Amino acid sequence: MIPSWLGTRAVFESERVDQAQLREMQNEWAYFRNVTGMQEMVLAKTLPDITEHYEKNLTHPNLHSFGRQLRESLAFVTDSWLKLADRSELLSDSPVIQRSIAVRNPYTDVLNLLQVEALKRYRKGPASEEPDVRTALLLTIIGIAAGMRNTG
C-alpha cells in the first residue's frame, strides 16, 4: 500500500502548498474529500509493527534503515493528515469502517505472521521439495488480500 501514501509527505512538507488551501479543499471539494478518504482508509490498514516484522525476518540488515525511514514517513503522513482533517484518530468519522478494520486485524495479523514463516521456508529451497509451503504461502496471500479487502 506504499504507493497510495508515499508521495503525500512531499505535499505536506512543501513550502509551495498552502495548508489552508488544502484544508479548504478537504472541507469544500467532494472529489478531494473522496480521494483523501481512500487514503485515510489505507493509512488505517497499514500497521507499522507488521511491516517491521516482515523487514526483520525477510530482509538483509543493511536494508532495515530504509524500512525505518518508510515507517517514519508513514507516521508523518498520518499525523499530517489528522491535522488537516482536524481529527485525533483515523476513520473517526467512519465508525463502521473503523470497526470493520479493527475486527479483521487479529485475523490478518496471524496470516501475516504465517506468511513470514512460509516465505522464510520457501526461500530455503525449491518449492517442489515442499509443496505444502508453497500452498501455505499462496493461502496467506489470498487470505490477507481478502481480509484487507484489497490486494495491497
Q: How far is CA 127 from the centre of its chain?
A: 28
Rounded CA gap, 133 and 149, in Å?
24
- Close Cβ partners of 116 (under 8 Å, ≥ 6 residues apart): 53, 54, 57, 58
Q: Which three cell numbers stand for residue 59?
A: 530482509
∠ CA 26-1-136, nearest 5°, is: 150
Q: Are 14 and 8 in contact (CB under 8 A)?
A: no
Residue with cell 481529527: 87
Work out the average pLDDT over 120-142.
Answer: 83
Residue with cell 514517513: 73
- 139 vs 130, higher pLDDT: 139
Work out the average pLDDT over 112-129.
Answer: 84
Taking 90 as the threshold, does the pLDDT of residue 67 lie above it? Answer: yes
Taking 60 as the threshold, does the pLDDT of residue 152 lie above it? Answer: no
Cα-based distances in Å from 125 to 77, 90, 136: 39, 41, 15
Work out the average pLDDT over 89-109.
Answer: 93
Q: Is the pTM of this model over 0.85?
A: no
